Structure 1
Amino acid sequence: MSTAPRLGAARRDWGTDDSATPILHVDMDAFFVEVELLDRPELRGRAVIVGGSSARGVVSSASYQARAAGVHAGQPISQARRLCPQAVVLATSHGRYAAYSRRVMDILASFTPAVEKVSVDEAFLDVSGARRLWGSPVEIAAAIRRRIRTEVGLPASVGIAATKLVAKVASSHAKPDGVLLIPQAASTDFLHMLPVGALWGVGPAARARLERRGIHTIRDLAHEPVESLVSVLGETSAHRLHELAWARDPRPVAQREREKSMGTETTFADDVADIEVLRACLLDQAHATAARLRAGRMKAMTIAVKIRFADFTTLTRSHTLTHPIDTGREIARIAHDLIGRIAIPRAGVRLIGVRAENLQPVDAGWQLAILDDERTHAVEEAMDAVSARFGARTLTPARLLRARGRESE
């Protein structure tokens, strides 16, 4: 969910010449929300927020109805509720999002091997070598969106351009559920009409500094002498952003390294000192992390626990295994052992989290450990299938049901 500013009045038609625009940026629309709506179609058309359910949680994704009220990613849930009191707030289910992300990325890879995954819900493609098989970039974009909608049930927006920068900015202006082609000859004109914050690499702080200097649009930045930008942005950023402002972006689409860790954290609404509540939270996190590992066809060699006390003191503890794992049961066992070695102060715990590190692909050829129980793996894979069809937490360890029962009393 992008927080970069968009120009609502931006033109949606810049011509039809896609002969020199091999770069596509595919960006899923309100990805987490749309995945949740697959199981909750009655919420479609309403303001929906996905994020941490506690008062200290933050927004991960929001429907366009919620965004219209000022809700955006990274915002505290408490602030989002004030801005949009009618919104339905749903807890995140990262394992499920990872599974849907994999399905989307598999579709993209079926068009070209030149796919650069940027995050769980967006990727760049270079379709230079795919034209003979799939057609022009515009035709490929249409086919991609059609397959994602038909096979996965989700909407996607696509920006088509000559460079990664322009394609990314174009996809944000194609939303929701659209396509925007920016012909190579129109790249500079398209960028120059946009606010400076739309430029890739200009965050809120840099945007504020530029606007204080009277630089409000990308056109302003492009026509500002680089020497004067150095005092505002620094030597490296000034030259890089000045080049981007003129649509000069030589970066190729390149496959990124696979993820090196996966995990989840929980920030409690009230500090928790009850060790059983903490252990139940770790169990829930362990199963969510394991589901993400299996969705990504990865296993973990190292399990780490992070804990932050009421005074903001933060500790991490980790354990490295002799063989990789991907089941919630094993991750929870290690996490419980790690937290058992930490003295919980009376003031309690503000945040706790589990992370799987040192990831290995499932087909790396590791030999099964003597104590491995394939039945546990089969049960958890069955839980994945049920969750994918009927929603997260449809099946859950009985201990978590008891823990939630205590919380609701």
Structure 2
Amino acid sequence: MSKLYPSGHGIFQDVPIHEWDPTENRQPAGWATNSSNIRWAYGPDSDSTLYSTPGHISAGSRRALCLWLPTFELRLELLRSPELDTTSVALLSPDESIRSKIWQVSERAHATGVRPGQFISQAVSLCPSLTLLEPDPAHYNAAVESMLDLLSELTPILEPAGRGRVFLGMDGLDRLFGSPSQQVNLALRSLFRIFPAPLVAATRAGMAPGKFGAWVASAATRSGEPVIVEESELVSFLARCPVNTLPVNP
């Protein structure tokens, strides 16, 4: 199925909502895991565990939606300095004790061999034209707060899991917002109210029973291709996912 979704040019286009196909335990047509870039997409200093906030979404929620914006902080910096978007860029660690290390890298920098966790000297030796950016946590936190305020209009059950990743409790919202696929599209389209199209276009979305399943669904899919996993399909879905898409230590 597909829903209308704004493109980067502000024109609505059809974007598929992929539902897991349990038949023969296989992925739906046109769907494939995107695990190769997951590790560097958020950097080693970003915690990939599921943060628990008392009173928020339950790990056993019947329907949870995970919205994930990989390299959220770096993307915010590139929005402030669009002239850097076609260059090799790396964001330094916000931790003062390891400020001499790389935290997040752009795709162009990654292609030259630059990786999160490298020392600046190593990264620059691999990519002499590398642009290094100082982190701005206050700016990133303000963007997160704006996102949470916006999403709270859809559901009061929210749980941020670090910057750029948030879980939404979607139980009982069918009468208000329609089917699960309609709910996912509504959440994604609402982000255009506060974020530019390039940032929204990079968002990955996964809906499944509980936070764990929702996180794996969002981590295993591509940007712009939300995945919905029903309860009866969760076990077979998880069984097919590579280990590095799971928020656990292998």
Give the alignment's TM-score, normalised by structure 2: 0.64
Q: Is the 8 A contact 1:103 1:152 kept in 2?
A: no
Of 101, 105, 130, 1:58 maps to: 101
Equivalent residues in 2 for 1:222-241 (5 A)? Answer: none
What is the aligned partner in structure 1 of residue 231 from structure 2? Answer: 184
What is the aligned partner in structure 2 of residue 80 from structure 1? Answer: 123
The 10-residue stretch of structure 1 (113-122 or 61-70) with the greater mean CA deviation from structure 2: 61-70
Q: Is the 8 A contact 1:51 1:58 kept in 2?
A: yes
Of 86, 110, 135, 1:92 maps to: 135
- Identity of matched residues, %: 29
* Aligned length, in residue pairs: 189
Instruction: Identify if the C-alpha distance between structure 1 residues 178 and 69 changes in structure 2 by more than 3 Å, giving closer, same or farther.
Output: farther
Alignment of 1:149 onto 2:222? no
Q: Which whole-Å CA distance do the structure 2 matches of 1:61 and 1:125 have between them?
A: 26
Of 128, 131, 136, 2:171 maps to: 128
What is the aligned partner in structure 2 of residue 110 from structure 1? Answer: 153
Q: Is the 8 A contact 2:91 2:102 kept in 1?
A: yes
Instruction: Identify if the C-alpha distance between structure 1 residues 173 and 195 changes in structure 2 by more than 3 Å, giving closer, same or farther.
Output: closer
Q: Is the 8 A contact 2:90 2:131 kept in 1?
A: yes
Q: Is the 8 A contact 1:24 1:167 kept in 2?
A: yes
Instruction: Identify if the C-alpha distance between structure 1 residues 51 and 177 changes in structure 2 by more than 3 Å, giving closer, same or farther.
Output: farther
What is the aligned partner in structure 2 of residue 215 from structure 1? Answer: none
- Describe the SS at the equivalent of 1:152: coil
Deviations 1:342-364 (A, max 9, x none): xxxxxxxxxxxxxxxxxxxxxxx
Equivalent residues in 2 for 1:249-328 (5 A)? Answer: none
Unaligned 5+ residue runs, structure 1? Answer: 1-11, 208-409
What is the aligned partner in structure 1 of residue 31 from structure 2? Answer: none
Alignment of 1:31 onto 2:72? yes
Q: Which whole-Å CA distance do the structure 2 matches of 1:34 and 1:86 have between them?
A: 19
Instruction: Identify if the C-alpha distance between structure 1 residues 87 and 190 changes in structure 2 by more than 3 Å, giving closer, same or farther.
Output: farther
User: 1:77 corresponds to which letter in structure 2?
Assistant: I
Q: Which whole-Å CA distance do the structure 2 matches of 1:189 and 1:70 have between them?
A: 35
Of 146, 170, 176, 2:217 maps to: 170
Deviations 1:182-230 (A, max 9, x none): 233332232223333433221xxxx3xxxxxxxxxxxxxxxxxxxxxxx
Q: Which whole-Å CA distance do the structure 2 matches of 1:73 and 1:105 have between them?
A: 27
Instruction: Identify if the C-alpha distance between structure 1 residues 113 and 88 changes in structure 2 by more than 3 Å, giving closer, same or farther.
Output: same
- Describe the SS at the equivalent of 2:124: helix
- Describe the SS at the equivalent of 1:119: coil
User: 1:173 corresponds to which letter in structure 2?
Assistant: A
Instruction: Identify if the C-alpha distance between structure 1 residues 52 and 124 changes in structure 2 by more than 3 Å, giving closer, same or farther.
Output: closer
Alignment of 1:47 onto 2:88? yes
Instruction: Identify if the C-alpha distance between structure 1 residues 126 and 48 changes in structure 2 by more than 3 Å, giving closer, same or farther.
Output: same
Deviations 1:147-206 (A, max 9, x none): 21342223222111122112111111234344222233332232223333433221xxxx
The 10-residue stretch of structure 1 (191-200 or 92-101) with the greater mean CA deviation from structure 2: 191-200
Deviation at 1:110, TM superposition (A): 1.3
What is the aligned partner in structure 2 of residue 14 from structure 1? Answer: 20
Q: Which whole-Å CA distance do the structure 2 matches of 1:167 and 1:77 have between them?
A: 35
Deviations 1:56-96 (A, max 9, x none): 52233222333445544444333333444443221111111
Unaligned 5+ residue runs, structure 2? Answer: 1-17, 22-27, 29-60
Deviation at 1:13, TM superposition (A): 5.8
- When Rg is computed on C-alpha atoms for both structures, the one with the higher figure is 1
Q: Which whole-Å CA distance do the structure 2 matches of 1:195 and 1:124 have between them?
A: 22
User: 2:20 corresponds to which letter in structure 1?
Assistant: W
User: 1:135 corresponds to which letter in structure 2?
Assistant: G
Q: Is the 8 A contact 2:159 2:168 kept in 1?
A: yes
Q: Is the 8 A contact 2:220 2:241 kept in 1?
A: no
Q: Which whole-Å CA distance do the structure 2 matches of 1:65 and 1:166 have between them?
A: 31
Give the alignment's TM-score, normalised by structure 1: 0.41
Deviations 1:252-297 (A, max 9, x none): xxxxxxxxxxxxxxxxxxxxxxxxxxxxxxxxxxxxxxxxxxxxxx
- Describe the SS at the equivalent of 1:61: strand
Alignment of 1:160 onto 2:225? no
Specify which structure has the bigger relative contact order, considering alpha-carbon pairs within 8 angstroms and separated by 6 or more residues.
2
Q: Is the 8 A contact 2:101 2:120 kept in 1?
A: yes
Q: Which whole-Å CA distance do the structure 1 matches of 2:178 and 2:127 have between them?
A: 44
Q: Is the 8 A contact 1:21 1:183 kept in 2?
A: no
